[in-house]
Amino acid sequence: MMIKFTYYGHACFQLADGQTKILVDPYFTGNPAATVAAKDISCNYILVSHAHGDHLGDAPFIAKNCRAEIVAIPEVLSICQQEAPQAVCHPMNVGGELKLPFGKVRMTTAIHSSGVPGGVAGGFMIYFGDVAVYYAGDTALFADMQYIGEAYKPDWAILPIGDNYTMGIEDAATAAKWLKVKHVIPVHYNTWPIIAQDPQLFKELAERYAMTKVHIVAPGESLDMRGEALSV
């Protein structure tokens, strides 16, 4: 079975196995890089890393529109519930693990502001079938990524490279090395001039410095994460 990664631009992506669709940081409205509109998205779960508009995005609308269940910290869920009071919510927090029918989600630390009073920014380890995906969220490089690599054994890492608000390409290359991942997808770049980056430069740097393969995915494009993981 395939685990299809689809990139919608910025830090918005979906994982799908033919049965379950997991949408992460659903920023469509106002996203200059988005290739589809929020109303055209269907999914079962929405994971929100923090409350900044470029991550929380259209989560409440999509939760209402396709009855998707939302996974986030309580402070982020409160914002979603104001607009989507009927939404099924899964509150969790950093360090915790949540079992869901498709596998499990663990919330990881991120060094970043949260966008909501009392909240923290996070990332996610997503265990989807037999593929383990680490999405760092918006974050600085932090040394515990080595522990995430050792303890949670991600096959893939989805890392911000845009700099200014998050890691830039050099720190993201170090992150790839510390995480010991075989596959990396860069996100959170080129949405606006302030986070302009050359993903090809990141690819060259990360592949030289870390034992990893960098997959540059254009907005609107997809790849098979499971197929790639099995082929190495």
Q: Which stretch binds Mn ion (CB under 5 A): 114-122, 130-138, 167-175, 198-206?
A: 130-138
Tokens of 95: 């360090």
Spatial CA neighbour of 72 closest among 119, 132, 11, 131 = 119
Pairing of strands 4-9, 222-224: antiparallel
CB of 103 to Ni ion, least distance (A): 26
CB of 165 to Mn ion, least distance (A): 5
CB of 165 to Ni ion, least distance (A): 6
Q: CB-wise, 116 or 206, nearer to Ni ion?
A: 116
Q: Which stretch binds Ni ion (CB under 5 A): 51-59, 67-75, 79-87, 221-229?
A: 51-59
**Per CB under 5 A, 25 contacts Mn ion:** no
Pairing of strands 45-47, 69-72: parallel
Distance (Å, rounded) from C-alpha 61 to C-alpha 83?
Answer: 8
- Give the phi and the psi of residue 172 in degrees, each rounded to 5: -65, -35
CB 182 within 8 A of CB 229: yes
Distance (Å, rounded) from C-alpha 188 to C-alpha 54?
Answer: 10
**Per CB under 5 A, 138 contacts Ni ion:** yes
User: Which of 17, 25, 75, 138 is in the footprint of Mn ion by CB under 5 A?
Assistant: 138
Q: Which stretch binds Ni ion (CB under 5 A): 8-16, 44-52, 71-79, 93-101?
A: 44-52
**Per CB under 5 A, 54 contacts Mn ion:** yes
**Per CB under 5 A, 52 contacts Ni ion:** yes
Q: CB-wise, 8 or 102, nearer to Mn ion?
A: 8
CB 193 within 8 A of CB 220: no
Question: Where do contacts with Mn ion occur on this chain (CB under 5 A)?
Answer: 54, 138
